[in-house]
Amino acid sequence: MTAPANAPLVTILDDEPAIRTMLAEALEEAGFRTMAFGRATEFEAALRQASPDVCLVDLSLPDRDGLGLVHRLALEQGATVIIISGRAQVQDRVTGLELGADDYIIKPFDPAEVVARIRARLRRGTPSTQTGEVAHFNGWAAHFDRYVLEDDSGAETPFSHAEGEVLRLFLERPKRLISRQAMQEALGGAAGESFDRAMDVRISRLRTKLREDPRNPRLIKTIYGAGYIFLGDVRWG
């Protein structure tokens, strides 16, 4: 089955041919376009021509450090990054999420689960009809089409797709308490220590990029035992 030219593009980077074939067949059957690669060098070369919507990345690659590649993708590409890995330790999952991955799927997996997670991620990444792609607040502009923060002098600081999900959540709900449970429901992922740690890291990085005082942040406030609140004045458009 041939997917339409405007269907979301999913790239698959895994050195196991059987896994590449299994994922490509399941995704194409579900209506996605796919490109599959066995080596990171081939994948990186293809990115000069293609702009994937989702990147599936195995961490155990023959020619690159998978975690380093995930970090670069999160910063430089607008795509959703999902790790597919045989590394099942909690610390591996936490590290992957801290480096900017949006999700972490442990091998062996059912390809139907991968398809479902991709669809869920793409739904969450669709811009709200109530907002848009650029938010202005307190001397900053957040460009969600380019994944950069721009200060009032025009200097730009990139942020990852995962950091962008958290930032958009705050900017769409200014001056309202957002609980951990609400964040988990909005952003997906299993509730628990690894999700909490990933959120803490992403919020800490956003504060750094917004040049906040970590001891007394002005914009993203922690309400201990309750959640977070964004105190800026936000204008979209």
Strand stretches in 100-194, DSSP E? 103-106, 134-137, 140-143, 148-150, 156-158, 178-179
**What number does CATH give the domain 9-125?**
3.40.50.2300
Q: Do domains 9-125 and 134-236 have the same CATH topology?
A: no
Least confident of 36-45, 55-64, 91-100, 108-117: 91-100
pLDDT at 129 over 50: no
The pair of three-digit structure tokens given for residue 82, joined into one six-digit string = 């999902």
Instruction: Give the mean pLDDT of 31-52.
Output: 93
Backbone torsions φ then ψ of 157, nearest 5 degrees: -130, 120
Distance CA 94, CA 17 (A): 27
Asked if residue 52 lies in contact with residue 78, where contact means CB atoms within 8 angstroms, the answer is no
pLDDT single digits (tens) 57-82: 999 999 988 888 988 887 666 678 89
The pair of three-digit structure tokens given for residue 77, joined into one six-digit string = 């590409």
**What number does CATH give the domain 134-236?**
1.10.10.10
CB-based contacts of 63, cutoff 8 Å, min separation 6? 39, 40, 41
What does pTM read for this prediction?
0.62
Taking only Cα atoms into account, the Rg of the chain, rounded to an integer number of angstroms, comes to 18
Instruction: Give the mean pLDDT of 30-57.
Output: 93
pLDDT at 103: 87
205, amino acid identity: R
More confident residue, 98 or 167: 167
pLDDT at 110: 95
Domain ranges of the chain: 9-125, 134-236
pLDDT single digits (tens) 132-189: 789 999 999 999 988 899 999 999 998 887 788 899 999 999 999 998 888 888 877 6
